Structure 1
Amino acid sequence: MVVRMIPIWATTIIFWTVYAQMTTFSVSQATTMDRHIGKSFRIPAASLTVFFVGSILLTVPVYDRIIVPIARKVLKHPQGLTPLRRIGVGLVLSIVAMIAAALTEKKRLRAARLHGLTDDPTAEIPLSVFWLVPQFFFVGSGEAFTYIGQLDFFLRECPKGMKTMSTGLFLSTLSLGFFVSSSLVAIVHKVTANEPWLADNLNRGRLHDFYWLLTILSALNFVIYLVMCQMVCLQGQETR
């Protein structure tokens, strides 16, 4: 039973790789943008992660009050969305988040070029930091679906007496997601050494291409996840 859970475990790691970008490169983007509210107050770049919390607080009641009743009628399942379907929704939202991140970065670079700030990494680009909100929102909403779906799946499917191990297996996907992120950054640095995507000066880099890479990897991972879910269903798992 534990071995049967491994394919689902493996295909959820990439979500947390995407999540890692929100606390690293997205914050780096924010430091270069206009973070003023009014004339005097300036938002700290790292505080943008508050939109994670906001999106989760919004997603959970919307899911409980709107999505679940509709899903029960359409899918004829008492839970509405099964754990595997919840995870799937989270993976799709992570893909949308990376598309939004890539498009926003393109817009940020365009603004830097228009105002002649490409060679000044410390300059404030006249583009509102709130353009970054969609990528934080989609990843936060995806976390609400993926985290709960993963926890439900691993606790339901593990053998009796192994709940602690199953929880540890689930939580390991979070840490491995960050490890994969670090490895991916190192590989990209090495491959793009002549024209670095992830330059110290973001205005001279191609961070949007890195986001597109994550979009492609996430999409491929989602396809593999669907195949793994089909295998789980064929094995007679209750979460189908």
Structure 2
Amino acid sequence: MSYFNWWNFALCCGLVFGVTVIVFVQDNVGWGAADLILMSAMTVTIIIFYFGKPFCRYRKPQGSPLTPMLQVVAAAIAKRNLTYPSNPALLYEVPKSQKTQARLLGHTNKLRFFDKAAIIEGNETLSGDKKPNPWRLATATQVEELKLLLNLIPIWFTSLAFGTTVAQTGTFFIKQSSTMNRKIGHHFEIPPATVYSLTAIGMIVSVTIYDRIVVPTLRRVKSNERGITILQRIGFGMIFSTLSMSTAALVEKKRLSIARRENIQGGQTGPVSMSVFWLRPQFMLLGVGDAFTLVGLQEYFYDQVPDSMRSLGIALYLSVIGVGNFLSSFLITAVNLITEKAGGASWFGKDLNTSRVDNFYWLLAAINGLNICVFVFIARRYSYKNVQKNVTVADCTVANGARAEPIV
């Protein structure tokens, strides 16, 4: 439960180093010197990884993880006319004496149609070493794994609005910083990209407080091992992302008013007198949102997928950020066309001082606000993975090929 917190903590520490020290060296010493530092860092990383590799434990692959899902669908359709058993315990399950790589899952009442795949028909004999046809009879655990996979879909879709918001930190947020006063003192000026470190700092502080203070406190108060549920954590982060967009809109509106007052639009060049540290709230709020939602999504997609599909779970998490960037580009293009055809000026002019990015931020805040309502509706009806207790989890091997004891 703490792994992803500290994994992101380390990632953000590297990010702060990259957008401060490395960017400063690039601007003031040279790109060659910066690349030499990065090469040295990667060399140390590879050495550490190499010496840690023998201690890794790998789950032994057992065919395609999608095949059992298709077998459940086929079996459920074939048995669609059967009646549900009076007790879920009557559904077919792998005998506990049989060694299995996957954990056994308890029954849930959602998507009950697929339960029919585990109903034992009168002509199906399960005695001896004869195994049933997997396309006609699936285990209750396989049925529950399919349910888990289907439950991921609405959560994934409602996470895309957050991914679209995160895309602004590396685009419009940085563009804002390039048009503002970045001087510290009389001689030192920070590069525009360095402001991005505020998001990483916000995430570092939030993750530390959450893992070391919030979770232990809530664990004692609520008697819940996680403190709060994974989806509650994701939802809290979405609230902070909405606040970040609202704050960004207010700051951008103020920046535009100063730009007009200083006649930046009239032909003058150079940054406005407004300090770049006015952007600090929106960066920090989004960093806090990342600590809740981004890390929560990592934990969710790793924990709530079937055990054999955890690589797919991490891929789904990464796709939230990737698709969010595509959606951000699509939204900008659509808004640009709509505002031009409406007869007024486009929200995205030839430069930031002739644009209305503040309106775009308000649009994102509204989208996030509506998305939170949909997310809460789905999360309140979500059924978490129900793992049976005291059941063999898996046979694993360590990296050098030696056998490891089964996890129970």
User: TM-score, structure 2 length as denominator?
Assistant: 0.56
Cα deviation 1:197-227 (Å, max 9, x = unaligned)? 1112222211110000000000011111101
Q: Following superposition of structure 1 onto structure 2, how do residues 136-155 of structure 1 map, counting pairs within 5 Å?
A: 136-155=283-302
Aligned counterpart in structure 1 of residue 172 of structure 2, from 18, 25, 31: 25
Aligned counterpart in structure 2 of residue 223 of structure 1, from 373, 397, 403: 373
Deviation at 1:120, TM superposition (A): 4.0
2:267 and 2:238 map into 1 onto residues whose CA distance is 36
1:237 and 1:173 map into 2 onto residues whose CA distance is 21
Contact 1:32 1:121 in 2 (8 A): no
Deviation at 1:42, TM superposition (A): 0.9
Partner of 1:214: 364
Q: Given residue 260 of structure 2, which amino acid in structure 1 is its aligned partner?
A: R
Structure 1 gap segments, 5+ residues each: none
2:282 and 2:319 map into 1 onto residues whose CA distance is 24
Q: Secondary structure at the match of 2:228?
A: coil
Aligned counterpart in structure 2 of residue 198 of structure 1, from 348, 361, 371: 348
Aligned counterpart in structure 2 of residue 186 of structure 1, from 308, 333, 342: 333
2:218 and 2:173 map into 1 onto residues whose CA distance is 33
- Greater C-alpha Rg: 2
Q: Given residue 156 of structure 1, which amino acid in structure 2 is its aligned partner?
A: D
2:207 and 2:257 map into 1 onto residues whose CA distance is 36
Q: Given residue 109 of structure 1, which amino acid in structure 2 is its aligned partner?
A: L
1:18 and 1:219 map into 2 onto residues whose CA distance is 12
Partner of 2:22: none
Partner of 2:44: none
Cα deviation 1:115-146 (Å, max 9, x = unaligned)? 22233474210100000111111111111111
Contact 1:121 1:202 in 2 (8 A): no
Cα deviation 1:88-120 (Å, max 9, x = unaligned)? 111011001001100100110111122222334
1:161 and 1:78 map into 2 onto residues whose CA distance is 24
Cα deviation 1:45-90 (Å, max 9, x = unaligned)? 1121111221111111111233223333444422112211111111
Q: Given residue 209 of structure 2, which amino acid in structure 1 is its aligned partner?
A: V
Structure 2 gap segments, 5+ residues each: 1-147, 387-408
Aligned counterpart in structure 2 of residue 96 of structure 1, from 243, 262, 285: 243
CA gap of 1:35–1:77, structure 2 versus 1, over 3 A, is same
Partner of 1:35: 182
Aligned counterpart in structure 1 of residue 279 of structure 2, from 103, 107, 132: 132
1:125 and 1:223 map into 2 onto residues whose CA distance is 38
1:111 aligns with 2:258: yes
Partner of 1:56: 203
Q: Given residue 43 of structure 1, which amino acid in structure 2 is its aligned partner?
A: I
RMSD of the TM alignment (CA)?
Answer: 1.7
Moved more, 79-88 or 69-78: 69-78
2:351 and 2:239 map into 1 onto residues whose CA distance is 31
Q: Given residue 207 of structure 1, which amino acid in structure 2 is its aligned partner?
A: V
Q: Given residue 53 of structure 1, which amino acid in structure 2 is its aligned partner?
A: A
1:99 and 1:170 map into 2 onto residues whose CA distance is 25
Aligned counterpart in structure 2 of residue 79 of structure 1, from 209, 212, 226: 226
CA gap of 1:121–1:158, structure 2 versus 1, over 3 A, is farther
2:261 and 2:214 map into 1 onto residues whose CA distance is 43
Q: Given residue 202 of structure 1, which amino acid in structure 2 is its aligned partner?
A: L
1:65 aligns with 2:65: no
Q: Given residue 119 of structure 1, which amino acid in structure 2 is its aligned partner?
A: G
Moved more, 195-204 or 207-216: 195-204
1:164 and 1:62 map into 2 onto residues whose CA distance is 29
Q: Secondary structure at the match of 1:81?
A: coil
Contact 1:119 1:203 in 2 (8 A): no
Moved more, 48-57 or 206-215: 48-57
Q: Secondary structure at the match of 2:274?
A: strand
CA gap of 1:120–1:101, structure 2 versus 1, over 3 A, is farther
Contact 2:304 2:384 in 1 (8 A): no
Structure 1 stretches of at least 4 aligned residues deviating more than 4 Å after TM superposition: none
CA gap of 1:237–1:42, structure 2 versus 1, over 3 A, is same
Aligned pair count reads: 237
2:177 and 2:368 map into 1 onto residues whose CA distance is 23
Q: Given residue 197 of structure 1, which amino acid in structure 2 is its aligned partner?
A: W
2:194 and 2:168 map into 1 onto residues whose CA distance is 15
User: Taking CA–CA contacts closer than 8 Å with sequence separation of 6 or more, which of the two structures ends up with the larger relative contact order?
Assistant: 1
2:384 and 2:227 map into 1 onto residues whose CA distance is 19
